[in-house]
């Protein structure tokens, strides 16, 4: 959709944001970015006004072939920026910007920056070197690049919230017309989607996708666990919908675990970049870095950094929603190359300090047998290990070495009784 630059509502405001609110967040607070800086990745001098001009021309479809090549070269040098660029482009192509109160958003962002600077100074004066802005990327998409600031302004004005709600599936069920691929418990499979994206499905997993997949959009709906190797396509973001969250990528590798009866939902990023929004909090976004994992724990009311001491961003902490945290993905041991989160795609059932109740669910999906406990105290036993080629009986006997319990395998109805 082509839009005239001069007639675009709020365009001068957009330029003022680019010119006056270029800043980054460091551990000691907010610092402005000079209008002309040395690019950290390429070592090339970057003129901010030139970059501004290229992006606006691109959005208005008035850029020449040489200008498109110049912008494309810069984006190739900044692959993590492509996701944010895609978000901005999607938003630009809607009418939401026309209805956004940009002046109000500008004033609110200005006040937020001033508040941040005052808080940073007060923390510094108190001698506390752990700045509250260290984890501010939860709130601002990414370490406050100019697009993050612009998107935040739109978010404050209410336009982005409306855009996200309107253009992304917020239902807890996929459309009935979508195709379904189902892996029964005890099965694992690999499939290739029409765009050449590879997907590995764990046991008891359902993947839904449209018959029109790849023509205009790339969207799937997942219940269970899947590993995605998404084919890079800067013109079409890849979106995974689940009951608790939406995950948006351009091209990357990551694992999603979202079984409806599990207490924890997980998204583990191997490489690339992904953006996650929550169904009950769609106006807030979380961008994961490689080797990070987002964990969501049902419907509690707190956001925390796992094993961290950074304060919770107040705009998130005040909202009743899911308890969640971000942590690193884990290797089974310091001497092992097996990742706990993705070992299953290598045919390895990996678990560490997992109680028997939750481990039994994984056994059910791995071996296709239903577990029934006759003694609730046994559910609290904890186990650590890796199973690869073991049969169900061999695996249970191995667990008996660590803890005392009995089992009976009933093949006629595929049930395991634990007592």
- Map out the domains of the chain as residue ranges: 11-165, 169-328, 348-418
Q: Which residue has the higher pLDDT, 373 or 157?
A: 373
281-330 residue pLDDT tens: 767 778 888 899 998 875 533 343 333 333 343 433 444 444 778 888 88
Q: Which residues contact 125 (CB under 8 A, 6 or more apart)?
A: none
370-397 residue pLDDT tens: 999 999 999 999 999 999 989 999 999 9
Mean pLDDT calculated for residue range 25-52: 46
Question: What is the token pair recorded at 375?
Answer: 């003694």
Mean pLDDT calculated for residue range 162-179: 60
The pairing of strands 415-418 and 370-373 is: parallel
Q: Which residue has the higher pLDDT, 201 or 324?
A: 201
Give how far Cα 69 sits from Cα of 4, 56, 168, 274, Å: 21, 14, 31, 25
Mean pLDDT calculated for residue range 210-227: 89
Q: Which residues contact 387 (CB under 8 A, 6 or more apart)?
A: 348, 349, 366, 395, 398
Question: In this predicted structure, what is the pLDDT of residue 23?
Answer: 32
Question: In this predicted structure, what is the pLDDT of residue 357?
Answer: 92
> 410 — phi, psi (to 5°)?
-105, 95
Let me know the angle formed at the C-alpha of 75 by 232 and 90, rounded to the nearest 5 degrees: 65
CATH tag, 348-418? 3.55.50.30
Task: Give percent above pLDDT 90 in the chain.
Answer: 29
Quick check: 387 and 349 in contact, CB under 8 A?
Answer: yes
Question: What is the token pair recorded at 219?
Answer: 């969207």
Give how far Cα 224 sits from Cα of 170, 243, 312, Å: 18, 11, 30
Mean pLDDT calculated for residue range 181-186: 89
pTM of the complete model = 0.59
Question: What is the token pair recorded at 169?
Answer: 């599936």
Tell me which residue has tokens 């100019």: 146
CATH architecture, domain defined by 169-328: Sandwich (2.60)
Mean pLDDT of the chain: 70
């Amino acid at each position: 959709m082509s839009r005239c630059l001069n007639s675009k509502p709020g365009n001068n405001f957009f330029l003022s944001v680019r010119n006056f609110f270029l800043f980054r967040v460091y551990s000691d607070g907010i610092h402005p970015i000079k209008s002309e800086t040395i690019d950290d990745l390429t070592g090339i001098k970057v003129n901010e006004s030139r970059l501004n001009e290229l992006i606006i021309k691109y959005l208005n479809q008035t850029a020449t072939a040489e200008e498109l090549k110049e912008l494309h070269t810069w984006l190739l040098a900044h692959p993590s920026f492509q996701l944010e660029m895609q978000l901005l482009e999607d938003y630009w192509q809607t009418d939401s910007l026309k209805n956004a109160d940009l002046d109000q958003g500008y004033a609110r962002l200005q006040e937020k920056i001033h508040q941040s600077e005052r808080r940073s100074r007060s923390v510094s004066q108190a001698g506390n070197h752990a700045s509250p802005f260290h984890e501010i990327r939860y709130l601002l998409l990414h370490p406050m690049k100019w697009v993050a600031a612009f998107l935040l302004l739109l978010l404050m004005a209410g336009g982005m919230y409306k855009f996200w709600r309107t253009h992304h599936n917020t239902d807890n069920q996929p459309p009935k017309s979508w195709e379904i691929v189902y892996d029964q418990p005890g099965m694992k499979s690999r499939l290739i989607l029409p765009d050449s994206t590879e997907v590995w499905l764990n046991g008891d997993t359902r993947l839904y996708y449209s018959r029109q997949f790849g023509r205009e959009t790339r969207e799937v709906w997942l219940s269970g666990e899947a590993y995605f190797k998404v084919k890079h396509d800067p013109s079409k973001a890849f979106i995974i919908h689940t009951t608790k969250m939406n995950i948006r990528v351009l091209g990357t590798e990551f694992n999603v675990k979202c079984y409806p009866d599990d207490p924890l939902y997980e998204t583990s990023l191997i490489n690339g970049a992904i953006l996650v929004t929550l169904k009950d909090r769609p106006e807030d976004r979380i961008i994961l870095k490689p080797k990070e994992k987002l964990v969501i724990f049902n419907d509690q009311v707190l956001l925390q950094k796992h094993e961290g001491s950074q304060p919770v961003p107040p705009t998130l902490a005040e909202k009743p929603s899911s308890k969640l945290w971000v942590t690193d993905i884990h290797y089974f041991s310091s001497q092992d190359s097996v990742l706990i989160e993705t070992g299953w795609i290598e045919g390895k059932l990996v678990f560490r300090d997992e109680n028997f109740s939750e481990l039994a669910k994984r056994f059910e999906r791995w071996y296709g047998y239903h577990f029934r406990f006759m003694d609730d105290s046994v559910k609290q036993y904890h186990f650590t290990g890796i199973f690869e080629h073991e049969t169900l009986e061999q695996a249970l006997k191995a667990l008996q070495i660590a803890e005392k319990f009995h089992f009976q395998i009933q093949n006629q109805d595929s049930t395991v009784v634990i007592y």
